[in-house]
Structure 1
Amino acid sequence: MTNAEIARILREIAFFLEMEEIPFKPRAYEKAAYAIEALDAPLDEIYRRGRIKAVEEVPGVGRSIAEKLVTLIETGKLPYYEGLRLKSPVDIEQLTAIEGLGPKKVKVLYDQLGIRTVDDLERAALEGKIHQLPHFGEKSEQKILKGISFFKKSGSRYPIGVILPVIRDIERLLEKVPGVKRLAVAGSIRRWKETIGDGDLLAVSNDPDRVMDFFISMPEVIYIHAKGPTKSSIKIKSGIDVDLRVVPEESFGAALCYFTGSKAHNIHLRKIAIGKGLKLSEYGVFRGERPIAGRTEEEVYAALGLPFIPPELREETGEIESALAERLPNLIDYDELRGDLQTQTNWTDGAYSIEEMAAEAKRLGREYIAITDHTKSLAMAKGSDEKRLRKQMAAIDELNKKLRGITLLKGAEVNIDKDGRLDIDDETLARLDVVGIAVHSHFGLSREQMTRRVIRAMENPHADILFHPTGRIIQKREPYEIDIDAVIQAARRTGTALEVDAFPDRLDLKDEHIRKAVEAGVKLVIDSDAHHIHHLSYLQFGIATARRGWAKRSDVLNTLPLNAFLASLKDGKERGRKKHFGVMQVRKGR
């Protein structure tokens, strides 16, 4: 079984246990799921190398879960999981994808109305049965119907954060097949689209039959659409279709360009080729019958008189015109972030301690991270009031005296009240190193009301960053109504940075809004929104989204060294001298 499939089963176990209101265990299974998803090697390989002891060494996996994982690896089944499903035979994954439905509400719906599927849920809501249940009401019923409509509109596409680990698993398996000389992921995954319809892989091999035989016989395959000497197509357990093509080495670059897309980008390239008397296809660039380029993408673009265009830009949104005019931006690279400005810990709704989050961030090469736990208005997340925030600040100061190689910044994810005020007093905010502000409630305000609310919060002199500015959750919750152009102009006027939230369910700001912000000269930060140590690696999704929005290194504040970053925040150096004295002193003493 792939790591992604194992993680899905563990996550569903957590949901079922939460339905039964069993304490502590759901979080343990959730932590194990994240840990397995983040592994660099397949769990079954780890098990084969070191048996159950090696499985227990995976962070977050104790003896009990390790034993269940061994059963899964050895048999492909888990009686414990099947027993939970038998007790509550609901489609937990799809039902909890509807906004406002958690495991406990799913249980009420099953117990009271026998609801097992999204279709059952829609039928009950349309018949007016849900609002009669305790703790639901008519607004909840309408919200569920709206969530179902949004869920269905998403169709058969999947968030990139769900599909990328699955495709990477397949990529690792194929790389080990004898005879595979080159392998690449193409399609919308390579362009880092926020949702993915299918997977595309390209290979160069001197034994294509062996590669295809392996591809169609992988354990995750549930249906074989087609098998041929150069192309095979399968459906895997996650529901996505994946194609594999074996191409000649001399055509690999042309094929990679063609199958990366987008379709509109490719059409434009072909028009340029025709204008030069050339022919462009997945086999190469030809003058008449003679191939003149195709081995690498760089060759293909050069033959058309263009510099290499990064895959993230290939959406026919002006990238070819910019390339012809030599005005392509030098995009932020994937290794250029020095810090992470939104992380949550077990002080509120995170899974790990401040020290554990710092250790993992350091391992990933971060120079600084801000601890930004929720504030008091978010009661469901155990949000901190002023007194508790000050206690946490003191704890961070003490940790900074011990830590080496990374600095912790005192921060908070401060809730924006309905009227635009912040739920923490200014005196406390002034003592924080980084103040993120965010909307977590009253999503139904009008466009005018929401815009006024957010801008008022941005005008607070202590508000450094607007977190997840549109509030969307991909395929689960639409953005709230807001005038993003007005927010961008307010960010420029007030010196408030806008966040690119890298959590793959959010990717907020989205690419088109990032491009608007960049063009307006508004500064960005890219954050993981980590609630778990393994979320800290999500920054890659935010960087990719920023690249799709044409962002350069200079547009992103957390590419700066610590002191330069602190000086770049609202009120700059003057505020920095007052506000960040503790951090500066700690760094000086090292």
Structure 2
Amino acid sequence: MPIRNADIAAILEEIADLLEIDGANVFRIRAYHNAARILKELGQDVRTMVEKGEDLTRLPGIGADLAGKIKEIVDTGRCKVLDDLHKRLPPAIVELLRIPGLGPKRVRVLYRELGIQTLEQLRRAVREHRIRSLPGFGEKTEMHIADALEAHGGGVGRYTRVAADQYAAPLLDYLNTVPGIDKVVIAGSYRRAKETVGDLDILATGSSEGLVMQRFVEYDDVEEILSQGPTRASVLLRGGLQVDFRVVPKESYGAALHYFTGSKAHNIAIRRLGQERGLKINEYGVFRGDKRVAGDTEESVFASVGLPFIPAELREDQGEIEAAKAGYLPKLVELSDLKGDLHAHTKASDGHNTILEMAQAAKSHGLQYLAITEHSRRLTVAHGLDPVRLLKQIDEIDKLNETLDGIVLLKGIEVDILEDGSLDLPDDVLGRLDIVVGAVHSRFGLSRIKQTERILRAMDRPYFNILAHPSGRLIGRREPYEVDMSRIIRKAKERGCFLELNANPERLDLVDSHCRMAREEGVLVSLNSDAHSILDFRNLRYAVGQARRGWLEPGDVLNTRSLKELRPLLCGTR
């Protein structure tokens, strides 16, 4: 059975988590976490690299030891390190890690201090109020754990966009080689660019439906066939992702694509418009009585109810139909609109490549400028820069810019916003930079009022430009901190600051609704990769998808500007 990058990354993540519970060396833990992140975001198929005998140590952050572990996983589907950890630690303890808010550090405390190994033991400890007395917990954390346990179920999980892509891309490649298939596309929440997907809905047109279905269920990553018929089949892939596949007639393709793209609320609204015109709209077409009047294309479906084409990312019944009627649908931003990237890291902090390598990679992605924004000194785990090291990097960037062709490097920093709202570096140093990106990396548990005031005070600093990953969330791993985003957005407008939409597929932060709020207030959003390696610039496409869900046009995005247009905006707060 094939093994995908996401499968390997999941094993490495579990090793890292269990090592942390076991009290292993922090650098060893971090190495596994970093390797997992790299593989999840990698555009190359690691299994293919192993089969070709390619040197895995050429990948950023992968040394000889980790390369050997990855090869072992590809060859056997297992890893001896993980097997040994499973023998040493209670088997049910992994389930605790699936409770939001319970990372390995807290699970380790629960296990060491209270002997908690299972979900039931955790529920009992919550009921008996034994958790609040533990160091680093408290009553509020105990209540959050209680809520998370209440919501926790055994249902099918959701996949980040990048994880879903690692299954979707090879499957689409396979289907495109199947005789009889003319056209194949992924619909559903994936097509609407939702930040996570629960399953994949794939539509195809073609002939010999029975043969096509048979070839689909014979795909080598299929673990279980849930159903199979002449025009529809449903399977589970080995990684647990469900895929529903349908072959539809060409004359129904547009109607089926519209129907299975959704959302449900959008489809209901479109059907209601059809009913007002005496039409019946379903996955088979648009009908007046028994006569099909449209449905071969999505454009024909919308035209039948008097609307222009509505991009898939907007189809949530959140004003897109009214906007289409009135003729003011946004002309959504596209990846090709981006002129630069304003958040990236190098080996100087916690990145994996040199400044020159990052500049060359950004240029290869069509970018005209790149801001180098290392972490600041407080983030010691990321080898953050103090004033001396930052000033040295400023000189290095100035010298590099004299030799670079086709791309300009901007001097920047991702400076920590401290609990009192001050910044981690002094103004006389920040004033030497082209761009200052402020970020919250600690004290996520502050109250809504305190967290909001903390960020507002930081935005008042004279050299503050962009608020990075504004809610601090990690999808499926860490809930957003409590903050009044409407106040943050209004402050950004007042100060001439900007908000980041972080492209890391585990962040995608801003959320779509906050993108719309920013747009309505006239606050520009910067679509940044937060790249830690030359491979991460590919993630910008995920930021674009989120931005489109947030109705952003090119003019709403800071880094669609040329460098000449950008510089005055960055100086606006100074």
Provide TM-score, normalisation by structure 1.
0.86
Task: Give the corresponding residue for 1:586.
Answer: none
Take 2:301 and 2:385, find their aligned partners in 1: how far apart are those partners?
A: 56
Q: How does 1:94-173 map to 2 (within 5 A)?
A: 95-96=96-97, 98=99, 101-103=102-104, 106-107=107-108, 109-110=110-111, 115-127=116-128, 136=136, 138=138, 142=142, 145=145, 148-149=148-149, 152=152, 156-161=156-161, 162-173=163-174
Call closer, same or farther: CA 1:518–1:16 in 2, change over 3 Å: same
State, as a whole percentage, how many aligned pairs show the same letter.
Answer: 44
Amino acid at match of 2:160: I
1:21 maps to which of 21, 24, 27: 24
**2:101·2:477 contact (CA, 8 Å) conserved in 1?**
no
Amino acid at match of 2:321: I
Take 1:98 and 1:290, find their aligned partners in 2: how far apart are those partners?
A: 53
Call closer, same or farther: CA 1:455–1:59 in 2, change over 3 Å: closer
Take 2:55 and 2:382, find their aligned partners in 1: how far apart are those partners?
A: 34
- Pairwise CA distance, 1:232: 1.5
Call closer, same or farther: CA 1:409–1:139 in 2, change over 3 Å: farther
Take 1:499 and 1:150, find their aligned partners in 2: how far apart are those partners?
A: 33
Range with bigger deviation, 264-273 or 438-447 = 438-447
Take 2:227 and 2:472, find their aligned partners in 1: how far apart are those partners?
A: 41
- Pairwise CA distance, 1:172: 2.8
Amino acid at match of 1:458: M
Task: Give the corresponding residue for 2:501.
Answer: 500
**2:131·2:142 contact (CA, 8 Å) conserved in 1?**
no
For structure 1, the residue ranges without an aligned partner over 5 or more in a row are: 576-590
Q: Deviations over 1:373-397 (max 9, x none)?
A: 2223334433333233222222322
Call closer, same or farther: CA 1:481–1:34 in 2, change over 3 Å: closer
1:6 maps to which of 1, 8, 23: 8
Take 1:414 and 1:57, find their aligned partners in 2: how far apart are those partners?
A: 30
Take 1:215 and 1:545, find their aligned partners in 2: how far apart are those partners?
A: 30
- Pairwise CA distance, 1:361: 2.4
Amino acid at match of 1:195: T
Q: Counterpart of 2:402 in 1: which secondary structure?
A: helix
Q: Deviations over 1:8-53 (max 9, x none)?
A: 22333444455553575555544544454445454444445x3x23
Give the paired residue count: 570
Take 1:443 and 1:68, find their aligned partners in 2: how far apart are those partners?
A: 34
Range with bigger deviation, 552-561 or 469-478 = 469-478
- Pairwise CA distance, 1:65: 4.5
Amino acid at match of 2:88: K
Take 1:147 and 1:355, find their aligned partners in 2: how far apart are those partners?
A: 47
Q: Counterpart of 1:212 in 2: which secondary structure?
A: helix
- Pairwise CA distance, 1:316: 0.4
Task: Give the corresponding residue for 2:399.
Answer: 398
- Pairwise CA distance, 1:270: 1.2
For structure 2, the residue ranges without an aligned partner over 5 or more in a row are: none
Q: Deviations over 1:219-271 (max 9, x none)?
A: 54443321211111223344343211111122111111100001111111112
- Pairwise CA distance, 1:276: 2.3
**1:459·1:494 contact (CA, 8 Å) conserved in 2?**
yes
| RMSD of equivalent CA atoms | 3.1
Q: How does 1:197-276 map to 2 (within 5 A)?
A: 197-276=198-277
**1:201·1:243 contact (CA, 8 Å) conserved in 2?**
yes
Q: How does 1:266-345 map to 2 (within 5 A)?
A: 266-345=267-346
Provide TM-score, normalisation by structure 2.
0.89
**1:98·1:144 contact (CA, 8 Å) conserved in 2?**
no
**1:191·1:311 contact (CA, 8 Å) conserved in 2?**
yes
**1:499·1:508 contact (CA, 8 Å) conserved in 2?**
yes
Q: Counterpart of 2:338 in 1: which secondary structure?
A: coil
Task: Give the corresponding residue for 1:578.
Answer: none
**1:225·1:232 contact (CA, 8 Å) conserved in 2?**
yes
**1:337·1:366 contact (CA, 8 Å) conserved in 2?**
yes
**1:99·1:147 contact (CA, 8 Å) conserved in 2?**
no
Q: Counterpart of 2:474 in 1: which secondary structure?
A: coil
Call closer, same or farther: CA 1:420–1:26 in 2, change over 3 Å: closer
Amino acid at match of 2:175: L
Call closer, same or farther: CA 1:567–1:10 in 2, change over 3 Å: same
Q: Counterpart of 1:343 in 2: which secondary structure?
A: coil
Range with bigger deviation, 157-166 or 17-26 = 17-26
Range with bigger deviation, 376-385 or 535-544 = 376-385
Q: Deviations over 1:398-433 (max 9, x none)?
A: 333343332222111222222322222111111111
Q: Counterpart of 1:350 in 2: which secondary structure?
A: coil
**2:434·2:570 contact (CA, 8 Å) conserved in 1?**
no
**1:414·1:437 contact (CA, 8 Å) conserved in 2?**
yes
- Pairwise CA distance, 1:305: 2.0
Take 2:422 and 2:58, find their aligned partners in 1: how far apart are those partners?
A: 46
Take 2:93 and 2:342, find their aligned partners in 1: how far apart are those partners?
A: 33
Task: Give the corresponding residue for 2:435.
Answer: 434
Amino acid at match of 1:324: K
Call closer, same or farther: CA 1:75–1:156 in 2, change over 3 Å: closer
Q: Deviations over 1:112-137 (max 9, x none)?
A: 6555555554444555565677x545
Range with bigger deviation, 151-160 or 199-208 = 151-160
- Pairwise CA distance, 1:490: 1.3
